[in-house]
């Protein structure tokens, strides 16, 4: 186990170094670093000072080391637009994104689990067929268009829910106030759509497999009521894999929040990066990319470790 952990940790470090080189090459070598990293408004004197400060007169490999050294000290440059340290800017927006992502994952389980349970228990019923067809739609519909449709129906036509922003926040969280919660609902549903389909499918196949197990047959033979068999014996056993998989989807939920945040003007990291790309606020872009890459490497590492704990075959394969 320790050997596996060390190997996996080493791999993650290698990926991190590789990605930092890619980001570095992307920013410093593809474009002109002077134009990318120094505000276009700077005058000649400021320019030269900045070139020296950033070490742009050094050879490329030395520049990379300077870049890494600054990054390790948390210095990823200042935003041209907000004149704040880029890193700080992004960290400020992180709670909003996390709130949205966790809200979406909660909704996906809340809606997906009962629907999947129904589809698994009565696979031949018309209701189950509608649910399964719906889950195919959930996989094919582009997130951003569904978001627009949600705004059109629930915010514009019916006027039930607000369409943009976070609403009132308490300690920086929207879900603690009624107004904030009403703002959170639509974006969270939008982001959850894909995961709902996933949960429906996982639950359905889980239920169908579990129903054939001996302990379910035994519970029935004991004369337990069908409801008790379903909700205690079957439900408990499918819950663990479903929740695990949804948890593993956290990373992709955060990534796809870029789209949802733009549609609903949700002030999170995703909206910040799109705005920054559109106004070429490059220090923020670099900082975002590095943070998100780091986040993904950590998530992937945790996922792999979790898997190896849950499934010993993974661990053994890794050593072979």
Partner 1 sequence: MSDVTLDKAPVAPREETPFRRFVSEFMSSKIAVGGLLVFLVIVVVALLAPWIAPQNPYDLGQIDIMDGRLEPGEVGASGITHWLGTDDQGRDMLSGIMYGLRISLTVGAGSALIACLVGASLGLLAAYAGGRTDTVIMRLVDLQLSFPTILAALMILAFLGKGIMNVVIALVIVEWAYYARTVRGSALVERRREYIEAAQCLALPTRRILFRHLLPNCLPPLIVVGTIQVARAIALEATLSFLGLGVPITEPSLGLLIANGYEYMLSGKYWISFYPGVALLVTIVSINLMGDHLRDVLNPRLKK
Angstrom distance (rounded) from CA 153 to CA 146: 10
How far apart, in whole angstroms, are the C-alpha atoms of residue 65 and residue 45? 25
Contact 90, 98 (CB under 8 A): no
Tell me which stretch binds partner 1 (CB under 8 A): 62-70, 82-90, 156-164, 209-217. Answer: 156-164
Q: Could you give the CA distance from residue 195 to residue 197 in angstroms, rounded to a whole number?
A: 5
Asked if 27 and 282 touch (Cβ cutoff 8 Å), the reply is: yes
Q: How many residues does the chain have?
A: 320
- C-alpha closest to that of 113 among 197, 212, 226: 197
> What x-and-dash track marks residues 283-302 binding partner 1 by CB under 8 A?
--x---x--x---x---x--
135 binds partner 1, rule: CB under 8 A = no
Q: Binding string to partner 1 for residues 261 to 280, with x set by CB under 8 A, is what? A: -xx---------xx--xx--
- Write down the least CB distance from residue 84 to partner 1, Å: 20
Of the residues 144, 173, 235, 307, which one makes contact with partner 1 according to CB under 8 A: 144
Single out the segment in contact with partner 1 by CB under 8 A; choices: 102-110, 112-120, 255-263, 309-317.
Answer: 255-263
Segment interacting with partner 1, rule: CB under 8 A, options 46-54, 69-77, 139-147, 173-181 = 139-147
Token pair belonging to 33: 């670093």
The interface with partner 1 within residues 75-94 (CB under 8 A) comprises none
Angle, helices 86-121/269-278, rounded to nearest 10 degrees: 120
Neighbouring-strand partners of residue 85: 78
Part of the chain binding partner 1 (CB under 8 A), chosen from 39-47, 67-75, 236-244, 251-259: 251-259
Phi-psi group of 44: left, alpha or beta (phi > 0 → left; psi -120 to 50 → alpha; rest → beta): alpha
Give me 307's structure tokens: 């898997």
- Binding status of residue 163 toward partner 1 by CB under 8 A: yes
Least distance CB 311 / partner 1 (angstroms)? 18
Asked if 31 touches partner 1 (CB under 8 A), the answer is yes
Give the nearer residue to partner 1 in terms of CB position, either 163 or 203: 163
Provide the CB-side half-sphere exposure for 180 (13 A, CA).
16
Residues that bind partner 1 (CB under 8 A): 15, 18, 23, 26-27, 30-31, 136-137, 139-145, 148-149, 151-152, 155-157, 163, 251-252, 255-256, 258-259, 262-263, 273-274, 277-278, 285, 289, 292, 296, 300
């Amino acid at each position: 186990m320790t050997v596996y952990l060390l190997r996996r940790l080493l791999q993650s470090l290698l990926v991190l170094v590789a990605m930092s080189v890619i980001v570095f090459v992307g920013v410093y070598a593809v474009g002109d670093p002077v134009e990318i990293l120094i505000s276009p408004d700077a005058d000649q004197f400021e320019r030269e000072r900045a070139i020296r400060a950033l070490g742009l007169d050094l050879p490329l490999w030395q520049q990379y080391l300077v870049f890494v050294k600054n990054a390790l000290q948390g210095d990823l440059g200042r935003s041209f637009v907000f004149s704040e340290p880029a890193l700080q800017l992004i960290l400020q927006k992180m709670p909003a994104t996390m709130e949205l992502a966790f809200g979406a994952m909660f909704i996906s389980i809340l809606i997906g689990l009962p629907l999947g349970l129904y589809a698994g228990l009565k696979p031949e019923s018309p209701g189950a067929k509608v649910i399964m067809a719906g889950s195919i739609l959930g996989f094919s519909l582009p997130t951003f268009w569904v978001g627009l449709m949600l705004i059109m129906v629930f915010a514009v036509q019916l006027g039930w829910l607000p369409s943009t922003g976070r609403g009132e926040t308490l300690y920086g969280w929207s879900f603690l106030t009624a107004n904030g919660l009403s703002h959170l609902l639509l974006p969270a549903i939008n982001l959850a759509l894909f995961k709902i389909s996933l949960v429906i499918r996982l639950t359905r196949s889980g239920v169908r497999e579990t129903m054939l197990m001996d302990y379910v047959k035994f519970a029935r033979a004991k004369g337990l009521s069908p409801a008790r068999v379903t909700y205690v014996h079957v439900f408990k056993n499918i819950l663990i894999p479903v929740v695990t998989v949804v948890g593993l989807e956290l990373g992709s939920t955060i990534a796809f929040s870029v789209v949802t945040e733009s549609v609903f003007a949700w002030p999170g990291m995703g909206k910040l990066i799109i705005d920054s790309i559109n106004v070429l606020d490059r220090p923020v872009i670099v900082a975002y990319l590095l943070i998100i890459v780091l986040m993904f490497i950590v998530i992937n590492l945790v996922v792999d470790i979790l898997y190896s704990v849950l499934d010993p075959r993974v661990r053994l394969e890794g050593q072979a």
